[in-house]
Structure 1
Amino acid sequence: MRASQAFPIVGVGASAGGLEPLQKLLGLMPQEPAMAFVVITHLNPEHVSMLPEILARATWMDVRAARDGDRIARPTKTSATQGSRRKVAAGG
């Protein structure tokens, strides 16, 4: 990656009670964010999470489920994935 293509990736962790602060954080992002986000929360792997849908309602950014092997691209949107013990939301 060339220096002109580089961008920061911000990692944000949240546990019980962290949903509202995540919604507020993503809701405050400008229309052209200068960074991507990876949000990790501790969740039961047996539980189907609504995290992507919930975060999508809080932000103008596109929120989608990330998949194993996805690359984080220059930030234009936010992604969320369901993991075994966590959720990961990545802007890109």
Structure 2
Amino acid sequence: MINNKSLIVNLPTIISIIIFSFSCGKDEIPKSTLVLKDNLLYKQGSDVPFTGRERALVENKIIEYDVKDGLKHGEFRIFSENGVLEIQGQIDSNRNVGKWQ
């Protein structure tokens, strides 16, 4: 049997958990912070060519790709705004290689 007193004491905790779970529903996809200079990608405000993974919202599409020394290199994927994969392929030094789907 549930003790009404313990339910009342735990009610704020239960409400907090519910609110937190709804706020974690969808990840916000940021707009790209990379800029193109002399055919190389840089983080805004940086003079060093970017190396890392870019995941950003561009023209209502989610793009994900790897960058090495300012050049797109590796897997490249484009998703619809609701997360459905639309295009994927490989890039080597800013050039599409192999089969794209």
TM-score for the superposition, normalised by structure 2: 0.27
Please report the TM-score for the alignment, with normalisation by the length of structure 1: 0.28
Greater strand fraction, Structure 1 or Structure 2: 2
Larger radius of gyration: 2
